[in-house]
Amino acid sequence: MKSSNVLLGVLAGFAAGAVLGILFAPDKGSKTRKDLKDKGRKYSDAVRTKSHEFADSVSQKFQDIKNEGTKVADNWKQKAKDVEADFKSKA
């Protein structure tokens, strides 16, 4: 499952929970607003954490691919030098 799909699902769940909480709130308006503010802060922190984790994951994968590409390029350079040296030694 893609991380972006998970993030969208989490955000949709938070929004649905907030709406239902407001509709069925048994408390006074001031308490409900405070609770929503607290939950909103909690959810925004969770989303921020997940987005940082996702960015770190993407960054790490990019770095891994870059390192692998460098290894492949170095390997091909060495093979080209070996072929060139072999060709010169036979000429």
Structure-block tokens of residue 23: 């509709």
The dihedral over CA atoms of 17, 20, 26, 32, expressed in degrees to the nearest 10, equals 60
Please write the tens of the pLDDT for every residue from 35-73. 878 988 998 898 899 889 989 999 999 999 999 999 999
Give the whole-number percent of the chain exceeding pLDDT 70.
95
Q: Which three-class secondary structure state does DSSP give residue 28? A: coil
Which region, left, alpha or beta, applies to residue 34 given φ > 0 means left and ψ of -120 to 50 means alpha? alpha
Given this model, what pLDDT does residue 1 score? 57
* pTM for the full predicted model: 0.50
Size (the chain), residues: 91
Q: Which three-class secondary structure state does DSSP give residue 27? A: coil
Q: How far apart are CA 80 and CA 84, in angstroms?
A: 6
Average pLDDT, the chain: 85
